[in-house]
Amino acid sequence: MTYKVTEEGNIATVFLNGEIDMDVTEKAKEVIMPLIEAKKEVHLNLKDVEYMDSSGISVLIESHQQATELGTKVILKEISKSVLKVIMMAKLEQILNLD
């Protein structure tokens, strides 16, 4: 997994790339969580995420919950087909913020 972060005003966009599994979840959290803790609105761009398993989904859930707790939000952008399929399998499309 690789990533790129851009910031504009209070919006931080994290572009994730590659495969997100148990091996990289800590790295993903290390990127996303500080932005949430800084009360940024975090946009996760998932266009180039080719694979996501339950560990990756856990990162999305934890991010969403932490953001809600801190009064901000995480929005999932340009979700790749394979990631959307897993989100829907977990029936999270009504819970997470999908754009």
Partner 1 sequence: MNFEETQNFKIESASLREVRVFARELFKKNSIFENHTDDLVLALAEAAQNIVKHGYNNEPTEDEMKIIIKFNNNVLSMELMDKGKPVVPSNIKPRDLDDIKAGGLGTFFIGQIMDEVVFKTTKVNWVNHLILTKAF
Contact residues for partner 1, defined by CB under 8 A: 19, 21-23, 51, 53-55, 57-59, 61-62, 65, 82, 85-86, 89-92, 95
Residue (11 or 22) nearer to partner 1, CB: 22
Residue (46 or 86) nearer to partner 1, CB: 86
What is the residue whose two structure tokens read 């754009």?
99
Residue (67 or 86) nearer to partner 1, CB: 86
Neighbours of 4 (CB within 10 A): 12
Rounded Cα–Cα distance for residues 68 and 10 (Å)? 16
β 11-20/2-8 pair status: antiparallel
